Structure 1
Amino acid sequence: MKSMFVQSNVVWVLMQIEEEQGNYKKAFKYQRDYHALRDSIKLENKLKDVVVTEFKRVNSENERLTKSNKIIQTENINHEKTILTTVIILVFVVILLVLFYKRNLEKKATNLLLKKQRDEIVEINKELESLNEEVVAQMEITTAQNKELEQVNKVKNKFFSIVSHELRSPIATLKMLFGLHRQGHLNNDELNNLLTKFEETIYSTSAFLDNLLHWSKSQLDGIVMSRSEFDISNLVDENARLIETAIRLKGIKLEINIEPNTKAFADVNMINVVVNNLISNAMKFCDTGDAITVEAHNSKGKMFLSIRANGPGISKENIEKLFDLEHTITTSTSGEKGHHISLVLCKDMIEQNNGEIKVESEDGKGTTFLIELPELEF
């Protein structure tokens, strides 16, 4: 640029020299070169200005870019920090989720284990309940067996007590009778008279032993029953014939009022024992001139049998004890012993045949035994 400016000055001087020398052609040529150089200088200046301007613009742009880069770098750093923070938070969240998931799995496993244990506990409780029920049932069975054993033992003790008590008296009497006869204190007539009176005691004791054996068998071994339908009038008539002589000798009237074809469904042998005992007991407690009335009929699917005696009657207190084994002996109008074992036997036999026995009595107004039995098999 500087050389071109010097050159243009030189050309300008040469132009003036040639113009002064009158060499206009060369002066014009130098003038033209001078203007060309001046245009070049201007162009170069313009280019320089453009370059400077562009340079300044570029520098400004560079500075702006530098600032932008710094801002971007700052933002990038901030972004990196944000991203790093976000990544850390995400990693932490992921760790928490993993831990939560693991804890859930452990919780589910624990719940499954607890459910399994709970189910096992329920099963164990059911087994324990079942075992408890079995134990309770076994205890009930044991209790029932103990009660049964106590009852059997009580029956056995009572049986031997009654037997020893009832046999001791007639045997002692017979022993004393034979001793007096052997010692010569009794002649044959007196002995015969005492033996005749003692015969009634023997019959009474025999009947008592029969009843006691029947009752003991039913309590200890059980009686095999054979139920069937039968006419009650035939059974009553048969028993009436057996005691006909005794009734006539005592002066008692026996009335039998049984409707025709009166049926009962039961074990005929057991009912025969019941009727025999009730009629015999009624006869024992009747005075001369009293009456025994036997009535029977069917109604509403049942057979109703009543045996009434015009005897002394039974007090309310004794009625409550009548079928109790503890209340064993009473004395009849003629001094005979009445054994309540026969009434206990009657009650047991009636109940074993799905029947019922009741007593109606008042002091001085007689006693009635009422029996209900099924008429037909159910």
Structure 2
Amino acid sequence: MGFRIFIFILFFTGTTNSIAEPFTVSNIDSLDTQLKSQNGLELANTLIEILEYYQNINVDSSVFYATKLITLSDSLKYTDGILAGNASLINADFTKGAYYSGIERGLPLVNQNYEEEGYHLANLFLAVGNCYGSLGLYRSGIEYYLRAREIFAPLNSFEKLNTVANNLGALYIRLGNFESALEVFSNMNIAAGSKALRVTTKVNFGFIYFGLNDLEKAENYFLDVFDFGDDAIEVRAKAISSFKLGDLYTQKKDYQQALTYFNRSLDYFSILENEAQTMNPLNGIAEVYYKTGKLDQAKEIALQSERIGEKTQTLSELNSVVSLLADIYKEQGDYKKAFEYSIKNRALNDSLNINQRNQEIQVKEAEYNFERKEEELRREQSVKLKNQRIVLSGVTSFFLISLVFIFVFYSSKKNKEKANLRLESLNKDLEETNKIKNQLFSIIAHDLRNPLSSLYGLVTLLEMKVADKKELERLIPELVSQFKHTSTLLNNLLNWSKSQMQGYKIVPTKFDVNELVRTNIELLSHRFKEKEISVVIKDENSLSVFADKNMIDLVILNLLSNALKYCDKKDEVTIYSESKPDFITFSVKDTGTGIPENKIGLLFTSSFYSTNGTRNEAGTGLGLMLCKEFIEKNGGKIWVESDFGQGTTFHFTLPVTDYKLDS
């Protein structure tokens, strides 16, 4: 049983002030409010504080604020902001498993000379060390951790020193150097650390004593983990401790206890939705069944683990279970299968060795590329400086003589270019307007005139008393359908025309968008029932957005009507949402006819692309143009995904706060 993937590495726990209070939701809301009234260095420092909050909570928010911080800090030439933002991006790479990207991002920064080596530079070394360690390049990781510790020490940043020590000790464990790991962890001030640090050190102490074969101490440390709560990092600690206790009791030949803890580990990993790591307890269960002679049960569990390994490409654990399957088949007398799995085991061993070498080569390439770029840059700067000295005197005099002439010529040329560009823009606008005008006249002439002609025909038949009751029953539903379409079309035409003439004033407010969804579903309920289409709202909870309620009401009505149009009997329309810190994404998904791939680009444009619905319902494409117009006016965006013949999903975003103030 390997334990490589289970060692805990921590990053960015704590704040820049070692005595600061832990962040809470109210703290972060207060900082978010400050952003709207700050600029310059004050804004950069607030962004750094916000990043400290998001590091272990939300990767997307962390990347968003880090990018914002780097852009601002570059313009201010603010070194701390540049370092803090990049360290945060490297930690995002680390969280996503993009370790090479993290190293490439960090190398240009860690190799620079700084006037002061402060907190944020140390964080950068720590982040790069995490990436090296996770690639299995433990010695390089240790070098970066030692460098981070060297900078943190005089800053009295005890929380950070604990984090570095924890990660350093974890790498010593991975190297099998349990004595050095024990020395590192024993010198840590764990009691003064965060809860996350306390629970991870318990796990790592368990690994150390397990490695030193002191099973009693290892057992006590792993059992202590179950006294903690149910945060994500604590559940992960319990999952790992349960697995290692199963391993420990297997070693003690207490197989019943081993199975209890392996199954408990499976439950915890299921909570974390980490399918790859379920292989370790599954392999443990299979091994217990194998050792106790229950070969069929052992084979069933091992094959389940193998399927997960093939799917997730978790080669180390896959190799373990393949080796076990070879032994199981051999024990059952199925020598052909045993031979096949022995071959597979050898191939996986080769792959693991090749992967390790490839990882080392890729990192070396990243380091070489950085050094080569640095050398090329230095050479280019040297040549440029030499050339500048030669031509400086001649250029200066020529520049002074030519200055007036250039200024006059440039101004004239610039004005002419501006006039040409303006004329070209006006021509394009005129062509587009003319195209829209012709299309609108076509819509009015066709889509509005047809229902009126039908009505005229019906009234004429009634007046002449030539239509019997059966004929009227056939004509009236068709007429009703045409007028429903006409009513929607008129509504869209009026709203779109009003928006084009800038007569539609946006009045954004806070409101529950799910309330609008329910209202519009109720409005269209008889049409959904008529076509036998089911409608599902995935999240019934209140979802507040900041937008013009009337505009969004019309958007939702159009998207639901669109889904209704292209669905038929037994189809389903699903409305779901995803919340982010600054916006909410809403989706209207249907299992209808879908859109051909070559036609998707025509939606939301002035091409007025539309096709008839499943029951020959007519359309103009104007509704989707209106949706795009209104969503974008409210600071959101709208897009579509479709699989022709399978269904379509329209997504749109809306801000949760005043997007104009945010921007």
Please name the residue that 1:374 is paired with.
655
Q: Which digits, 9 at most, give the CA deviation of each residue in 1:155-195, with x for residues without a partner?
A: 22221121112123222222333334444431355335423
SS of the aligned residue for 1:254 comes to strand
Q: Note if contact 1:155-1:216 (Cα within 8 Å) is conserved in structure 2.
A: no
Please name the residue that 1:315 is paired with.
596
In structure 2, what is the Cα distance between the partners aligned to 1:134 and 1:193? 68
SS of the aligned residue for 1:338 comes to coil
Q: Note if contact 1:228-1:267 (Cα within 8 Å) is conserved in structure 2.
A: yes
Please name the residue that 2:535 is paired with.
254
Q: Which digits, 9 at most, give the CA deviation of each residue in 1:343-378, with x for residues without a partner?
A: 121122222222221212112211111112222221
Task: State TM-score, norm by structure 2.
Answer: 0.37
Q: Note if contact 1:152-1:220 (Cα within 8 Å) is conserved in structure 2.
A: no
Q: Note if contact 2:571-2:590 (Cα within 8 Å) is conserved in structure 1.
A: yes
Letter in 2 for 1:279: L
Please name the residue that 1:197 is paired with.
478
Give the counterpart of 1:267 among 516, 523, 548.
Answer: 548
In structure 2, what is the Cα distance between the partners aligned to 1:132 and 1:228? 47
Please name the residue that 2:220 is paired with.
none
Counterparts in 2 of 1:171-190, with a 5 A limit? Answer: 171-187=452-468, 190=471
In structure 1, what is the Cα distance between the partners aligned to 2:597 and 2:547? 30
1:154 aligns to 2:428 (yes or no): no
Please name the residue that 1:336 is paired with.
617
Q: Note if contact 2:533-2:570 (Cα within 8 Å) is conserved in structure 1.
A: yes
Post-superposition offset of 1:326: 2.5
1:206 aligns to 2:487 (yes or no): yes
SS of the aligned residue for 2:538 comes to strand
1:230 aligns to 2:491 (yes or no): no
In structure 1, what is the Cα distance between the partners aligned to 2:578 and 2:643? 24
Give the counterpart of 2:498 among 204, 214, 217.
Answer: 217
Task: State TM-score, norm by structure 1.
Answer: 0.63
Q: Summarize the Cα distance change of 1:235–1:226 in structure 2 as closer, same or farther, 3 Å threshold.
A: same
In structure 2, what is the Cα distance between the partners aligned to 1:189 and 1:314? 38
Q: Note if contact 1:297-1:305 (Cα within 8 Å) is conserved in structure 2.
A: yes
Q: Note if contact 1:281-1:338 (Cα within 8 Å) is conserved in structure 2.
A: no
Q: Which digits, 9 at most, give the CA deviation of each residue in 1:15-46, with x for residues without a partner?
A: xxxxxxxxxxxxxxxxxxxxxxxxxxxxxxxx
Letter in 2 for 1:286: C
CA RMSD after TM alignment = 2.4
Post-superposition offset of 1:122: 4.8
Give the counterpart of 1:359 among 640, 646, 652.
Answer: 640
In structure 2, what is the Cα distance between the partners aligned to 1:154 and 1:221? 19
In structure 2, what is the Cα distance between the partners aligned to 1:164 and 1:310? 33
Percent identity of paired positions between Structure 1 and Structure 2: 35
Please name the residue that 2:568 is paired with.
287
Letter in 2 for 1:305: F
Post-superposition offset of 1:280: 1.0
Post-superposition offset of 1:140: 2.3
In structure 2, what is the Cα distance between the partners aligned to 1:132 and 1:344? 39
Post-superposition offset of 1:327: 4.4
In structure 2, what is the Cα distance between the partners aligned to 1:287 and 1:259? 25
Please name the residue that 1:68 is paired with.
none
Please name the residue that 1:12 is paired with.
none
Letter in 1 for 2:578: H
1:137 aligns to 2:433 (yes or no): no
Post-superposition offset of 1:223: 2.8
- Structure 2 unmatched ranges of 5 or more: 1-396
Please name the residue that 1:79 is paired with.
none
Question: How many aligned residue pairs are there?
Answer: 261
Please name the residue that 2:268 is paired with.
none
Select the structure that is richer in strand: 1
Q: Note if contact 1:314-1:367 (Cα within 8 Å) is conserved in structure 2.
A: yes
Counterparts in 2 of 1:42-121, with a 5 A limit? Answer: none
SS of the aligned residue for 1:359 comes to strand
Q: Which digits, 9 at most, give the CA deviation of each residue in 1:120-166, with x for residues without a partner?
A: x8545423422332232233223323322322222222211211121
Q: Summarize the Cα distance change of 1:325–1:208 in structure 2 as closer, same or farther, 3 Å threshold.
A: same
In structure 1, what is the Cα distance between the partners aligned to 2:480 and 2:530? 15
Q: Note if contact 2:605-2:625 (Cα within 8 Å) is conserved in structure 1.
A: yes
In structure 1, what is the Cα distance between the partners aligned to 2:416 and 2:552? 41
Q: Note if contact 1:232-1:263 (Cα within 8 Å) is conserved in structure 2.
A: yes
Letter in 2 for 1:155: I
SS of the aligned residue for 1:358 comes to strand
Please name the residue that 2:58 is paired with.
none
Moved more, 312-321 or 174-183: 174-183
In structure 2, what is the Cα distance between the partners aligned to 1:364 and 1:166? 27
SS of the aligned residue for 2:619 comes to strand
In structure 1, what is the Cα distance between the partners aligned to 2:539 and 2:414? 53
Please name the residue that 2:607 is paired with.
326
